[in-house]
Amino acid sequence: MNIIEVDNLVKKFGSFIANDHLTFNVRKGEIFGFLGANGAGKTTAIKILCGLSKPTSGKVMVAGYNVSTHPEEVKSNIGYMSQKFSLYDDLTVVENIRLYGVIYGLSSTEIKERTEILLNRLQLQDARKRLIKTLSLGWKQKLAFSVAILHRPSIVFLDEPTSGVDPITRRQFWEMIYEAANSGITVFVTTHYMDEAEYCNRVTIMADGKIEALDTPANLKKQYGANSMNALFLKLTRKETVGLDN
Amino acid sequence: MKTFIAFVNKESRHIFRDYRTMMVLFLMPVAQILIFGFVISTEIRDASIGILDKSKDDASRRLVQRLSASGYYKVQSVFNYERDIEPAFRRGDIQLAVVIEQGFGNNLRNPDGTAIQLLADASDANTSQMLVNYCSGIIQTFAIEESGIEYAPILTTEVRMLFNPSLKGVYMSIPGTMAMVLILISAMMTSISITREKEFGSMEVLLISPLKPYQIILGKVVPYVVLSMINAISILALGIIVFKMPVLGSWMWLFVLNLLYILLSLALGIFISTVARNQMVAMFASMFALLLPTILLSGFIFPIESMPWPLQWLSRVVPPRYYIQAIKTVMLKGGGLTYMWHELVTMTGFLVLFLSLSIYKFKVRLE
């Protein structure tokens, strides 16, 4: 079953084409890697999938709703986390969790229960009253991910969730991603770390607003005769030498 | 509703956990009202004057005494020679010199009369004009009393200064300062706090959440409405207690007026935040786009009537102008709706305009 169906998605800003006829599906419960150089059009596509921006043409279905006509339904069925912002620095751990719980319409008892589960899982019980700005980036990102799936969405979008995070924490982060996927949450993730791409069930590589390749990491490597995802990525994206930076 | 309360809580925590901003928020208005109240004063008090009394008789001494007893002047220097006067002006010792002619007392009763020369430092044109006017007034009265002759002019002008009989400058500067502080705090703080969320990327997270944009903005703005109201109350209290501003009109209208003005300023802040890319831009936009027009074009310090017409026309699009006018109507003239509906309607117009512009800009960005 497909939870995301994208059919001939085009997004233009004036004469600039950010997404050029994208067509792909994401299956329920899979970890879907969305790769591409800076400026390849990943962020634009994610914004459209999240209902934040409207496609110029094409049909995009997320969690069974059309993003152009029912963005509100899409929004309440997804979670989102980006590299740039994790949580509010001047609020405490618990205050942040509570705020997002309320925003996503959870009841007070649900919020309390899930807060405790979450704090236990992350071993942050002692830090519950600490301001976010006193936590390290790794902790912030793990906490932000947990908050993004607090309302148990059917899909979670992660936009470069591990950039700037140390290898150990990245590993722990991916363990959490697997856990979420096992509990039935579809994970849509962008990353610039090619070792992380290997962890995905399927990946797509974008270049110049187009999808260059889409398959499992193993099949892609075989198909293009590359021995690592890194080599494959360079092979597929190198032809555009002057990348538009975002 | 629950979401809304949670959001207001969040925003209040942002505000209250930032001690420095808090201090600025609450102390700046107080400091400004005191500074503007005491320093920017168009009144004459204890101006330094110099006297060159060539006559040195009883009448001339009485005149000098009269001048210094008026409270407007303080005799700083007494000259013996005319050549001493100019250096005193140059040194800035005195603002006005009074030269009393020889034989002043005797000539007072002569049909030809006597003369007094006033020299003023016109490098500060307005002040010197006022010093001269006040001084001539005192001398005139003195002359009438001394000569015992009441002139019987054919025409007399009787002047009564209404609403501010003692011409207190502070009656001007309190409404002006309120206008300035409220628009600055409301617009600057909202625009900065919204652009901060944009800059950090949290706005994106909020927009992707099921929250509607108006809920986000409302949640952000309500705490600032409360803050600004507290500020308005503290400035008003200072004006009334320290500077003895009267409130002749109804408190209800005063409240409505302030609330409307605060909402207008917040709407302006929201609009700035839709245009400004980051906090820095938002701050400077609020500073330059709001502070200067509020000070220069609203009639706060410079009377609108004496501006050249392009500036008069420009001042019509400066919202604080209407607030200041309406505040004066309520506080000093005791006027109600009949006398300020025009200002209220104009301010509501601005409010609607800023809100519509923000919504428009916001929609365009999401497309």
What pLDDT score does A244 carry? 47
- Are B334 and B196 contained in the same domain? yes
CA-based nearest residue to B121, from B157, B162, B90: B90
**Is B16 within a domain?**
yes
Instruction: Tell me whether A68 touches chain B (CB under 8 Å).
Output: no
Quick check: is B157 in a domain? Answer: no
Residue A91 to chain B, least CA–CA distance (Å) = 7
H or E segment at B78? Answer: strand B73-79
- Nearest-10 Cα torsion for B151, B152, B156, B159: 40
B198 and B141 share one domain: no
Gap between the Cα atoms of B170 and B28, Å rounded: 18
Nearest by CB: B14 against A50, A85, A90: A90
DSSP state of A85: -
Residue whose tokens read 């590359």 = A226
DSSP string, A88-105: -TTSBHHHHHHHHHHHTT
- Pairwise CA distance, residues B76 & B80, whole Å: 14
**Does B212 share its domain with B349?**
yes
B313 and B246 housed in the same domain:
yes
Residue of B nearest to A67 (CA): B208
Are A99 and B18 a contacting pair at CB < 8 A?
Answer: no
Total tally of structural domains belonging to chain B: 2
pLDDT tens sequence across A167-192: 999 999 999 999 999 999 999 999 88
Check residue A243 and give its pLDDT.
47
Q: Which of B78, B113, B147 is the last residue of a domain?
A: B147
A87 to chain B, closest Cα gap in Å: 8
Residues B238 and B95 in one domain: no
Single-letter residue type at A54: K
Considering B118, B147, B176, which residue would you say is the last residue of a domain? B147
Please tell me whether residues B137 and B211 are part of one structural domain.
no
Q: Which residue of B has its CA nearest to A88?
A: B202
For residue B16, the tally of other CB atoms under 10 A from its CB is 12
* Residue B152: inside a domain: no
- Identity of the residue in A52, A95, A131 whose CB atom sits nearest the CB atom of B208: A52
Domains of chain A, start order: 2-77+153-237 (3.40.50.300), 86-152 (no CATH)
- The secondary structure element, H or E, covering residue B77 is strand B73-79
The helix or strand, by DSSP H or E, that contains position B52, with its residue range, turns out to be strand B47-53
Residue B162: inside a domain, yes or no?
no
Q: Which among A54, A78, A91 has the least Cβ separation from residue B10?
A: A91
Question: How far apart, in whole angstroms, are the C-alpha atoms of residue A208 and residue B352?
Answer: 43
Cβ-based contacts of B198 with chain A (< 8 Å): none
- Record: contact A99-B210, CB cut-off 8 A: no
Containing structural domain, residue B251 = 2-40+168-366
The DSSP H or E segment spanning B100 is strand B96-100
* Chain B interface residues (partner A, CB cutoff 8 A): 2-3, 6-7, 10, 13-14, 17-18, 200-202, 204-211, 366-367
Residues A20/A11, Cβ–Cβ less than 8 Å: no
pLDDT along chain B (367 residues), means of 10: 85 86 82 78 77 88 88 88 88 89 81 84 80 85 75 62 66 83 86 87 86 84 89 88 86 92 92 88 84 84 83 89 90 84 92 90 68
B238 and B325 assigned to the same domain: yes
Angstroms from A80 CA to nearest CA on chain B: 7
Q: A215 phi and psi, to 5 degrees?
A: -175, -175
CA distance A58 to A69: 12
Is there a contact between B208 and A78 if contact means CB atoms under 8 Å apart? yes
Residue B112 in any domain: the answer is yes
Instruction: Give CA separation, B332 vs A121, B93, B167, in Å.
Output: 65, 37, 12
Q: Which of B147, B178, B207 is the last residue of a domain?
A: B147
Q: How much is the pLDDT for A245?
A: 47
The answer to whether the CB atoms of A85 and B17 lie below 8 A apart is: no
Whether residues B211 and A98 touch (CB distance < 8 A) is answered with no
Which among B11, B17, B209 is the top mutation candidate for probing chain A, defined by the most A β-carbons within 10 Å of its own β-carbon?
B209
* Residue A129 touches chain B, beta carbons under 8 Å: no
Q: Do B211 and A103 touch (CB under 8 A)?
A: yes
- Whether chain B has a CB inside 8 Å of the CB on A52: the answer is yes
d(CA A91, CA A94): 8
Q: Name the closest residue on chain A to residue B198, using Cα atoms.
A: A85
Could you give the angle at the alpha carbon of B7 between the alpha carbons of B4 and B12, nearest 5°? 125
Q: Tell me which of B20, B205, B363 to substitute to probe the interface with A (most A C-beta atoms closer than 10 Å).
A: B205
Reference B177, options B54, B301, B317, B78; nearest CA is B301
Is B156 part of a structural domain of the chain? Answer: no
How far A208 CA lies from chain B's nearest CA (Å)? 21
Q: Is B229 contained in some domain?
A: yes
Asked if residue B180 and residue B121 are part of one domain, the reply reads: no
| Full pLDDT tens readout for chain A, 246 residues | 889 999 999 999 888 988 899 999 999 999 999 998 888 888 889 989 998 888 999 999 999 999 989 988 999 899 999 877 678 988 999 999 999 999 998 999 999 999 999 999 999 889 899 999 899 888 899 999 999 999 999 999 999 898 888 999 999 999 999 999 999 999 999 988 888 898 999 999 988 888 888 999 889 888 888 888 888 888 888 765 444 444
Residue given tokens 């005149």 in the structure block: B63
The pair of structure tokens assigned to A39 is: 């400026």
Write the residue in A78, A82, A105 that is nearest to B204 by C-beta: A82
Provide the ipTM: 0.84
Residue B278 domain-assigned (yes or no): yes
Cβ-contact A23, A15 below 8 angstroms: no
| Alpha-carbon distance values, B131 to A118, A205, B358 (Å) | 76, 81, 50
CB atoms B366 and A54 under 8 Å = yes
Rounded CA separation B190/B226 (Å): 12
Q: Is A234 on the interface with B (CB under 8 A)?
A: no
A138: its two tokens: 């790794």
Q: How far is CA B291 from CA A188, B122, B284, in A?
A: 47, 30, 10
Looking at the structure, do residues B175 and B80 belong to the same domain, yes or no? no
d(CA A222, CA A228): 10
Q: At what angle do helices B189-200 and B279-286 cross, to 10 degrees?
A: 160
Whether residues B35 and B51 fall in one domain = no
A197-240 per-position pLDDT tens digit: 989 999 999 888 888 889 998 898 888 888 888 888 888 887 65
Contact A117/B at CB under 8 A = no
Residues B189 and B270 in one domain: yes
Q: In chain A, which ranges are E strands?
A: 2-13, 16-27, 31-36, 57-62, 65-66, 78-82, 155-159, 186-190, 202-207, 210-215
B207 CB neighbours in chain A (<8 A) are 52
CATH code (residue B57): 3.40.1710.10
Q: Are residues B113 and B192 in the same domain?
A: no
